[in-house]
Chains A and B, each alone.
Chain A
Amino acid sequence: MPRVPDQTSGTPELRLVFGADPVAIRRSLSRMLASPPLSGLGAEARGAAELVLAEILNNVAEHAYDEAGGTVEVTLRPDAGGILCQIADSGRSMPDGRLPEGKLPASSAPLQDLPEGGFGWHLIRSLCADLSYTRSEGRNLLVFLIPG
């Protein structure tokens, strides 16, 4: 169930719209981390926030838009217990219309079978709370809380 934002806080929300490509994502992450509300978090929570946002945005670029480009909209606002994040894109739906499970690939494989990917959703699920996904009118919307 999506959370209802806490309107009583005085810290302004941050809304950014940018291209879903690795360079624009890097630049936008830098701006998000340096601005309220994320700039007010402690070092550990900011690190977690950067990682969750990067993983989700990289997925949008790579999977929702198949590296063909498109825009993504990020809204961050303070909420009870952390920062409420919304990420919207107009790319392809999640597989089967739902969030990936995020099962960790095996780390005990022989050298040449060690995993080089498949870590993203596990990291996302480990570092955020109240994660929800909706697909509506051709748009993907992810909502989650970064504790902090």
Chain B
Amino acid sequence: MQLQTQTRPKVISVSVIDDRIDAATAIQFKEKMRDATRNGPARVVLDLARVQFLDSSGLGAIVAVKKLLGPDRILELASLTPTVEKVFRLTRMDSIFTIHPNLDAAVAHAASA
């Protein structure tokens, strides 16, 4: 599980380099996200542009990251591919995240917040 992190003035973006977050990698994803977001701005954007597949374990791990960040920080999502978007929609977890069409929109939103 490879993550690419970029820290900007008001937002830290984390791009998942792997093409799936599934039962085989969910725990590793959660641990790497915790390390990647330990310091930095309150707002975190998770860029899922390369993720073609997310199962319920992967979804649970993303929710767990939101909880790990705590009430004073915020996790937003960007660039959901069709199958990943479907998982969020069918489980109604799209209602607990702000979802941006792409990373640029997420960063612009953070800059104006």
What residues of chain A lie closer than 8 Å to B23, measured between beta carbons? 22, 25-26, 54, 58, 61-62
- Expressed in whole angstroms, the minimum distance between the Cβ of A121 and any Cβ of chain B is 9
**Does A101 reach chain B (CB closer than 8 Å)?**
no
Q: A43-B82, A47-B82, A111-B71 are in contact. Are A23 and B24 (CB under 8 A)?
A: yes
B66 touching A114 by the CB < 8 A rule?
yes
What residues of chain B lie closer than 8 Å to A111, measured between beta carbons? 66-67, 70-71
Size bracket, chain B contacts: 20 to 34
- Expressed in whole angstroms, the minimum distance between the Cβ of A66 and any Cβ of chain B is 14
A123 touching B91 by the CB < 8 A rule?
yes
- Expressed in whole angstroms, the minimum distance between the Cβ of A88 and any Cβ of chain B is 20
Number of A residues near B (Cβ < 8 Å) is 30
Nearest A residue (CB) for B91: A119
Query: 1/0 per residue B24-58: CB within 8 Å of A?
Result: 10000000000000000000000000000101110
Among A22, A23, A119, contact of B60 (Cβ-Cβ < 8 Å): A119
A58 to B57, CA, bound (A): 9
Query: 1/0 per residue A46-65: CB within 8 Å of B?
Result: 01101100110010011000
**Does B4 reach chain A (CB closer than 8 Å)?**
no
- Expressed in whole angstroms, the minimum distance between the Cβ of A27 and any Cβ of chain B is 9
**Does A9 reach chain B (CB closer than 8 Å)?**
no
- Expressed in whole angstroms, the minimum distance between the Cβ of B69 and any Cβ of chain A is 9
What residues of chain B lie closer than 8 Å to A119, measured between beta carbons? 56, 59-60, 87, 91, 93
**Does B96 reach chain A (CB closer than 8 Å)?**
yes
Among B22, B61, B71, B90, contact of A123 (Cβ-Cβ < 8 Å): B90
Residue among A25, A112, A114 with most chain B CB within 10 A? A114
What residues of chain A lie closer than 8 Å to B53, measured between beta carbons? 47, 50-51, 54
**Does B112 reach chain A (CB closer than 8 Å)?**
no
- Expressed in whole angstroms, the minimum distance between the Cβ of A99 and any Cβ of chain B is 16
Task: Sample 7 A-B pairs with CB under 8 A, ordered by A number.
Answer: A25-B23, A26-B20, A26-B22, A58-B23, A115-B60, A119-B91, A122-B91
- A-B residue pairs, 9 tightest by C-beta: A47-B83, A22-B24, A116-B60, A119-B56, A107-B92, A120-B56, A22-B23, A58-B23, A119-B91
Taking beta carbons and an 8 Å cutoff, which residues of B are in contact with A? 20, 22-24, 53, 55-57, 59-61, 63-64, 66-67, 70-71, 82-83, 86-87, 90-93, 95-96
